[in-house]
Structure 1
Amino acid sequence: MLVLSRRIGERLVIGDDIVLTVIDVRSDGVRLGIDAPRHVKVSRAEILEAVKDENVEAAAVDDEAAAVLAAIRPPAPPAA
């Protein structure tokens, strides 16, 4: 991990087309401005982690849910 010190107004360039600018420094955090092309996804890590956790939870099937789904599914027709 690269660790840098920057002051308000100073910038950091990533690659050829991403620029991070320090907008404000407060006691509880730092405000950053991000200038990147539209095709570059910029997301907060904690949001991505929360979505991943919710997806894992939603995909989990417990015995009760499986029984409910089995009860509403019509039986397969007999093989001919």
Structure 2
Amino acid sequence: MLVLSRKKGESIWIGDDIEIIISEVKGDQVKIGIRAPKHIDIVRGELRHAISQSNTEAVIKNLDILKNKLK
């Protein structure tokens, strides 16, 4: 993991296509802007975790249904 210090208005580039801009720092909250190509999905970490957990639960449920049908 790369850890960088940035101030309001400064940015970080990922490759040639993605720019992360620090737009505001207020207490322990940092607001960022992200410029990226439209084909790049940008998802908050907590949402990605929730989706992954929901998908796992759905797979387990479907496996249980399949097991019951095979009995």
- Does 1:7 find its partner at 2:7? yes
> 2 CA distance for matches of 1:3 and 1:30?
15
Shift of 1:13: 0.9
User: Structure 2 regions of 5+ residues with no counterpart?
Assistant: none
Q: Does 1:35 align with 2:31?
A: no
TM, length-normalised to structure 2 = 0.80
- Structure 1 residue runs of 4+, over 2 Å off? none
Q: How many percent of aligned residue pairs carry the same amino acid?
A: 41
Choose 1 or 2 for highest CA Rg.
1
Structure 1 unmatched ranges of 5 or more = 71-80
d(CA) in 2 for partners of 1:43, 1:19: 15
TM-score, normalised to structure 1, is 0.72
Aligned length: 66
Structure with the greater relative contact order (CA < 8 A, sep ≥ 6): 1 or 2?
2
1:21-80 per-residue CA deviation (whole Å, 9 max, x = no partner) reads: 000011231100000000111111111110111111122238xx74xx85xxxxxxxxxx
